[in-house]
Amino acid sequence: MMNVRQRLDDIENSVSGWNPQPVQMPESSLIALPDHLRKTYVIVATKGECDAVQVSNHTGRCRAIESNYLNQLLRMGWLSKRRISRAVHFRPISKELA
């Protein structure tokens, strides 16, 4: 029970400072993405920067799958990444509005 309470406290702390910004992306570009990648991208764009664990917590998919999707988006030019300690954080690359 204590582990559940600690996990809930961690989630509450991470969400309390969350100030999502609207995704500045033309709809036609987002529609071009497959559904599974779009879902991952929208979460990263909304949070501003996050790692695969944070994305998987929002999507309900396992971390390994989200890591794969994040790296696909990186190769496609939708995201950039940086290492913070042992974690790799991804952030959206701003694209020009058409």
Q: In the prediction, which pLDDT does 95 show?
A: 59
Kind and range of the H or E run holding 47: helix 35-47
Residue 55: exposure state from Cβ atoms within 10 A (0-12, 13-18, ≥19): buried
pLDDT tens readout for residues 49-86: 899 999 999 999 999 999 999 999 999 999 999 998 88
Q: Which residue has the tokens 């709809």?
A: 27
The radius of gyration of the chain's CA atoms, rounded to the nearest angstrom, is 14
pLDDT at residue 97 above 60? no
DSSP 1: -
* C-alpha torsion 66→31→18→76, nearest 10: 50
98 falls in which pLDDT band (50, 70, 90)? very low
CATH number of 26-98: 1.10.10.10
Percent pLDDT > 90 in the chain is: 44
Q: In the prediction, which pLDDT does 22 show?
A: 54
Residue ranges of domains in the chain: 26-98
Q: Tokens representing 79?
A: 């995201």
DSSP 17: T
pLDDT at residue 47 above 80? yes
